[in-house]
Amino acid sequence: MTKKRLRPLLLPLALAMLLAGCSRPPEAEAPPRAVLVRTLDGAVGTAAAEVYTGDVRARYETDLGFRIGGKIVTRLVDVGAQVKRGQPLARLDPQDAWLAAGAAAAQVAAAEADLALAKAEFDRATGLRAQNFISASALDSRRTSLQAAEARLRQARAEAATANNQAGYTTLEADADGVITSVTAEAGQVVAAGQAVMRLARPGEREVEIYLPESRVGGVAPGAEVEVRSWISPERRYAGTVREVAPAADAATRTYALRVSVPQADDALKLGSTASVAFLRGSAGQMVLPSPAVTQVEGRQVVWLVGEGDVVRRVPVEVASFREDGVVISGGLPQGARVVVVGVHKLIEGQQVRPVAEDAPVALDVRR
């Protein structure tokens, strides 16, 4: 009877002990989430930058063309070819030029024969005049004929030289060392005299050509200092100087061409590649942050700062403008502040994180 009374009490106790034995140990606390941060300093917070993109060009570029018209029979170089001064680049069909040179040579031979005859007649007339067999006017006529024959010979020789030069113009040669940056005509095409068929960029100083809108060109003058960055190697930065500003706007785009000289350009600024040009503008205290660093909470623009103990907090900021290279912030952030620039949508007020500098060589998983 006693066992029957204890059985209902022992069963729950046994189940509790069984569950306690099968329960898992408590999971270890997850480590702080890694976040990418940018530390604000004087170099970042001095002024916003207006950034324009353009093409890397050689300071000295030449459009090359034949000095006579004709049909191209061969092109000897391609885009990107390194050429030397005097190197043949393309050739025209030379047949017409050779025929013209031959005709000019024949004219020289005829003029020389005419001159020889005129000289012989003048010498004969001179002797007859000495014997008073002909009049003075007859001698003057022979003298005039001789002078005319001499002039015709000079003309024929000049025309022959021109024809020979034009025969040589059937070969297009590089007028300087450089790189062929474009080709606008192919074999079989008929071109006119002076028509550009190639462009030659000379080695040496490189420039970036950009176009400014009418609203901005008034504040830029030759000599202004800028910062140039190559799209091929974005981490590379170069000091540049505005060399020239076009005096008139482009008729189609209503923008002004501007050339920025980059004296310290290296191989990262390849001819024809894209580069950005930054003009420092704006009031003190403005700064540019990456677009992912700024988010909207309860209708306000905020950024997340990493404070003491690596705890994050959100701080309201005033956005001055949005640009391709980031967001312009008007003050509100102290120097030395650590701003989270990636993964801000996953953060919680007061959350502890593991900050990693923006330029640190590590890969972060910000998806957690």
CATH architecture of 65-93+171-201: Beta Barrel (2.40)
What pLDDT score does 266 carry?
87
Domain ranges of the chain: 33-45+285-357, 50-58+204-279, 65-93+171-201, 94-169
Pairing of strands 274-281, 286-289: unpaired
What pLDDT score does 66 carry?
96
CATH of 50-58+204-279, one of 2.60.120.560, 3.30.530.20, 2.40.30.170, 3.10.20.340: 2.40.30.170
Q: Whole-model pTM?
A: 0.56
| Ranges of the chain whose pLDDT falls below 50 | 1, 43-46, 361-368
CATH domain 94-169 topology: Helix Hairpins (1.10.287)
What pLDDT score does 361 carry?
46
What pLDDT score does 12 carry?
58
Q: What percent of the chain clears pLDDT 90, i.e. is strictly above it?
A: 51
CATH domain 33-45+285-357 topology: 2.40.420
